[in-house]
């Protein structure tokens, strides 16, 4: 019974929507985006110019209704032909995801 109560408490912590929103470090994600992504994507919210390679600006990715922390994680761990495989560790994927989500217009 004691293990069941501990497991139930753990599941409640994992399923808590408030804590699910607190992914990554936005400032570190911005730094990573500037370092690794800015050669193809517009990563800054105030940059007026686009790219000619077809890579979407991060603000456009953020404003897409289907963009979530989970969808960004899945995208960033899946190799794509047009995108380099940066082999980012999970914490850095969370940081970049947090930065992208911070660009969402409220």
From the list 80, 69, 75, 87, the residue with the least C-alpha distance to 32 is 87
The CATH number covering residue 29 comes to 1.10.760.10
The structural domain count of the chain equals 1
Q: How many CB atoms lie within 10 A of CB 78?
A: 9
What is the pLDDT confidence band of residue 2, given thresholds at 50, 70 and 90?
Answer: very low
Residue 43 lies in a domain: yes
Residue 30 lies in a domain: yes
Write down the pLDDT at residue 10.
Answer: 41
Higher pLDDT, 72 or 54: 72
Residue 5 lies in a domain: no
From the list 89, 96, 90, 101, the residue with the least C-alpha distance to 32 is 96
Domain that holds residue 85: 24-102
The predicted model gives 31-48 an average pLDDT of: 87
Q: What is the radius of gyration, based on Cα positions, of the chain?
A: 16
The predicted model gives 27-51 an average pLDDT of: 86
Residue 10 lies in a domain: no
Q: Find the range with the poorest average confidence among 40-44, 67-71, 73-77, 83-87.
A: 83-87
pLDDT of 71 over the 60 cut: yes
pLDDT of 18 over the 50 cut: no
Angle made by CA atoms 54, 56, 61, in degrees to the nearest 5 = 160
What is the pLDDT confidence band of residue 26, given thresholds at 50, 70 and 90?
Answer: very high
From the list 74, 76, 41, 81, the residue with the least C-alpha distance to 60 is 41
The conformation of residue 64, written as its DSSP 8-state character, comes to S
């Amino acid at each position: 019974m004691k293990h069941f109560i501990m497991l139930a408490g753990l599941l409640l912590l994992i399923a808590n929507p408030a804590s699910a929103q607190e992914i990554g470090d936005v400032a570190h994600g911005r730094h990573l985006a500037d370092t690794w992504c800015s050669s193809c994507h517009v990563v800054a919210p105030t940059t007026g110019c686009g790219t000619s390679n077809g890579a979407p600006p991060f603000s456009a990715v953020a404003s897409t209704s289907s963009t979530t922390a989970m969808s960004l994680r899945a995208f960033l761990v899946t190799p794509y032909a047009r995108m380099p495989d940066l082999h980012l560790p999970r914490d850095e994927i969370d940081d970049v995801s947090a930065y992208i989500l911070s660009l969402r217009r409220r």
